[in-house]
Amino acid sequence: MRTPLVAANWKMNGSREFAEQFFAALDLEGLSCAVVICPPYPYLPLVAEKAGEGFSIGAQNLSDETSGAFTGEVSAAMLLDWGVRYAIVGHSERRSLYGESSELVARKFHAAQAAGLVPILCVGESLQEREEERTLEVIASQLQAVTEAAGESAGGDVWSRAVIAYEPVWAIGTGKTATPEQAQEVHRFIRERLGNAGAAVQILYGGSVKAGNAEALFAQADIDGALVGGASLDAEEFSKICRAAG
């Protein structure tokens, strides 16, 4: 049985005041799903103070390096120091706006795992790639970059301490959600590609998830939760999404 997981990606939004108000309004009472809050780096300590209250902390990014002269970067060990348990890697905004290649994303994935963090690997196709019917090919290559970077030694263990988020780029922040059936098709494909570990890996859907569409998405066999952007900035809306997950 996979535990449902709902993660909030605040992106570059919020303030100290926002965070205080968010946690005052967040209502996770009685939920059995796992909840992860990923604030911007400066608010990690503030979120860490609250994190006993039914959720874990995640980072939105991390360095592929362990330490040294890398101005502006944050290592996995530093995140662990603040009680962070998860790190998003390969978000489409990082891939498209900051030029992160699948190879760099794969190095970040392994840096997170090596330090004991659980990477949340984002994969997903652009609108053009979907229209050209290349969705599954694109996702297969994003996954393959991670297994290739692991080399032979990792065996089948690459995916056993990881979360995957399927985020179709055309559905992010656009109000357009993949239909539950469209998402399920890709989620099942991803699970099959993960091999033996696949059955136990949580695969989240991301892209305009709201309280109003969460239940239908979560009803699909291979959708284990959500990675939520815009709607995670509203504590009541986000609480409802978590409630829909269980």
CB of 232 to ligand 13P, least distance (A): 7
Q: Which amino acid is at 113?
A: Q
Q: How many CB atoms lie within 10 A of CB 174?
A: 13
* Structure tokens, 94: 């990082």
Task: Establish whether 131 is a catalytic residue.
Answer: no
209 near ligand 13P, judged by CB under 6 A: yes
> What does the DSSP 8-state code read for residue 90?
-
Helix segments in the chain, DSSP class H: 16-25, 44-50, 76-81, 92-97, 102-115, 127-131, 135-150, 180-193, 211-218, 235-245
4 near ligand 13P, judged by CB under 6 A: no
CB of 207 to ligand 13P, least distance (A): 5
- Contacting residue, 36, 44, 172, 186, with ligand 13P by CB under 6 A: 172
Q: Which is nearer to ligand 13P, 14 or 207 (CB)?
A: 207
Task: Establish whether 110 is a catalytic residue.
Answer: no
* Sign of the alpha-carbon dihedral angle for 24, 25, 26, 27: positive
CB 246 within 8 A of CB 240: no
Please give the size of the binding site for ligand 13P, defined by CB under 6 A: 14
58 near ligand 13P, judged by CB under 6 A: no
> How many whole angstroms separate alpha carbon 106 and alpha carbon 233?
28
51 near ligand 13P, judged by CB under 6 A: no
Q: Which is nearer to ligand 13P, 91 or 110 (CB)?
A: 91
Q: From the candidates 91, 100, 129, 187, which is the catalytic residue?
A: 91
CB of 6 to ligand 13P, least distance (A): 11
Q: Which is nearer to ligand 13P, 9 or 150 (CB)?
A: 9
Q: Name the one residue in this structure whose structure tokens are 């108000």.
A: 21
> How many whole angstroms separate alpha carbon 38 and alpha carbon 40?
7
CB of 209 to ligand 13P, least distance (A): 5
Residue numbers annotated as active site: 91, 167
Report the interface residues with ligand 13P, using CB under 6 A: 9, 91, 167, 172-173, 206-209, 227-231
